[in-house]
């Protein structure tokens, strides 16, 4: 199981603990990674607001690099995944579009043939690593921990570009992984909704309201912790939770974990190795519940 690893900007920027934790867990699952150092940002749907074709050219460049390596791409960010999946979908389904983009890539000596698959880590866990191997990697089942999933929009919609028709289990992939790790899934209506991050620049009160609503709703449904495969959601749900609680005049204090951090717990890895000190909402209650501290 070898992948071209696309870490994304945020795992190397605002959420270094995500990069750190995924580096800890992947070798224990039989995964090999080759990091794509020359691939650009996907545009995160923001650059695409200005120029969709430019975004598709940049992503076609990344897809072509992986195709040259003969490797599928692994992402660890819902937004990177969604933006690349959408670009790949347009490039491979819209007549003439791939040729148009390839004319730009050709001047760099590159061609994209449309064969690269892009998979988020959470999908790889279920589709490639497999349930049996994942179960074997669990050294300390997260028994008693109540975990609320929070997906991030880009890994849920539009489902047509994300391969949900061919792989319907992707829609519930987080719940499946949480269960396999021995924790209890806390279902709540906000799990597939927007975290508010894209709204932060234009409507900060609205963005904070989303953070406060989703985190407190998950807590009211009994969650000890929320887990997300998206570092952008993490920036909002964890980074701005204190501000959101103040804005909404309530206490929340819900720890937000990156998926590899939760997985690392179940593998029995040291909290320090998983970068937990970088989570802004204290994760100590989770460790206490698991009997780690």
In the complex, the residues that contact other proteins under the rule CB under 8 A are 9-10, 12-17, 37-41, 43-54, 57-58, 61, 100, 103-105, 107-108, 153-154, 156-159, 189, 193-194, 196, 198-199, 201-207, 209-210, 239-240, 242-243, 277-278, 280
Work out how close the CB of 99 gets to other proteins at its nearest, in angstroms, rounded to a whole number: 11
Residue 85 vs 176, nearer CB to other proteins: 85
CB of 18 to other proteins, least distance (A): 11
Q: How far is the CB of 62 from other proteins (least distance, A)?
A: 10
DSSP string for 47-98: HHHH-HHHHHHHHHHHHHHHHHHT--EEES-HHHHHHHHHHHHHHHHSTTHH
The nearer residue to other proteins, 30 or 205, going by C-beta atoms, is 205
SS3 21: helix
Residue 219: phi and psi, rounded to 5, are: -65, -40
Judging by beta carbons within 10 Å of its beta carbon (0-12, 13-18, 19+), is residue 127 exposed, middle or buried?
A: middle
- Distance of closest approach, residue 91 Cβ to other proteins, in angstroms: 14
Task: Give the Cβ contact number of residue 239 at 10 Å.
Answer: 18
97 vs 138 by CB, closer to other proteins: 97
Backbone angles phi, psi at 63, to 5 degrees: -65, -35
Q: How far apart are CA 246 and CA 106, in angstroms?
A: 53
DSSP conformation class of 273: G
Please report how close the Cβ of residue 43 comes to other proteins at its closest, in angstroms. 7
- Evaluate whether 256 touches 237 at the Cβ level (below 8 Å): yes
Q: Which is nearer to other proteins, 45 or 285 (CB)?
A: 45
Q: What is the closest distance, in whole angstroms, from the C-beta atom of residue 209 to other proteins in the complex?
A: 5
* Of 129 and 198, CB closest to other proteins: 198
Residue with tokens 């120029």: 51
Q: Report the residue number, 224 or 238, with the smaller CB distance to other proteins.
A: 238
């Amino acid at each position: 199981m070898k992948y071209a690893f696309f870490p994304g900007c945020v795992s190397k920027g605002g959420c270094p603990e995500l990069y750190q934790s995924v580096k800890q867990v992947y070798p224990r699952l039989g995964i090999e990674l080759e990091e794509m150092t020359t691939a650009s940002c996907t545009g995160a749907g923001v650059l695409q607001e200005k120029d969709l074709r430019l975004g598709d050219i940049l992503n076609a460049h990344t897809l072509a690099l992986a195709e040259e390596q003969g490797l599928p791409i692994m992402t660890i960010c819902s937004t990177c995944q969604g933006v690349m999946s959408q670009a790949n979908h347009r490039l491979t389904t819209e007549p003439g579009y791939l040729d148009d983009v390839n004319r730009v890539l050709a001047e760099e000596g590159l061609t994209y043939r449309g064969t690269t698959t892009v998979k988020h880590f959470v999908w790889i866990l279920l589709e490639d690593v497999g349930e049996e191997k994942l179960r074997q990697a669990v050294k300390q089942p997260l028994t008693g921990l109540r975990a609320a999933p929070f997906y991030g929009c880009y890994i849920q919609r539009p489902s047509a570009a994300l391969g949900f028709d061919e792989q319907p289990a992707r829609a519930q992939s987080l719940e499946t992984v949480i269960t396999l790790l021995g924790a209890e899934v806390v279902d709540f209506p906000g799990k597939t909704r927007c975290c508010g991050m894209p709204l932060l620049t234009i409507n900060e009160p609205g963005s904070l309201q989303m953070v406060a609503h989703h985190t407190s709703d998950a807590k009211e449904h009994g969650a000890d912790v929320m887990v997300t495969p998206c570092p952008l959601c993490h920036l909002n749900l964890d980074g701005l939770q204190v501000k959101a609680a103040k804005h909404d005049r309530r206490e929340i204090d819900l720890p937000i974990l990156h998926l590899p951090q939760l997985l690392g717990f179940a593998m029995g890895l040291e909290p320090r190795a998983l970068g937990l000190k970088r989570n802004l909402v204290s994760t100590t209650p989770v460790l206490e519940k698991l009997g780690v501290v």
